Amino acid sequence: SMPSPMAGARCNLVTELCRESLYDFMWYWRQVELPDVQLFAEDMCMGLRHIHQFSVLHRDMKPGNCLLQHVPGKRVVLKICDFGNSVFLMHVGTKRFPQSEKLTPSMTTYCYSSPEVRRQQPYGFPLDMWSTGIIIWELLQDGTRSPAIDFEYRKEPYETLKPAFEKFCKRLAEW
């Protein structure tokens, strides 16, 4: 494989001050209103589209890595953070491949990891979309759920998900 022109490069991101994560918001409010879910989903998808255009794969999408910027008189804006597990994808023809070793479940937050990661199969942008689908699904639950639901305690959560949720995640991955 060819070394990346960015190999060994360090990148620091500076953002606006955000005092709350989506995890905190979900934990405090328990039930998130549909208009907020739609705005958060849009912000996550737009943020992922942006970084994917630059061949960056986040690899650890979860509510704790989504910050909320509250600006008085304006809507709350979700911003993706914590790019510590991110990788650049290299282009080989029309396909893109991670420039690092295989991603293992221990490198991601288990309850948000995709089937490919758990099976140690090749992965790409759909990995981020799977995790985003789980976040959106959590946001759509009623006030009885807690963040990360009980996925952490199930061995293979993606095989036990309802068909409707699987279809939803697949549609997100195709986006």
Within 8 A by CB and 6+ apart from 125, the residues are 48, 52, 57, 89, 96, 173
3-state percent breakdown (helix, strand, coil) of the chain, nearest 5: 45, 15, 45
Annotated catalytic, 24?
Answer: no
CA distance 173 to 175: 5
Options 24, 36, 60, 142, the catalytic residue: 60
DSSP state letter for 100: S
Q: What is the amino acid identity at position 27?
A: W
- What angle (nearest 5°) sits at the alpha carbon of residue 67, between those of residues 64 and 68? 130
Q: What is the amino acid identity at position 84?
A: G
Would you name the residues annotated as active-site residues? 60
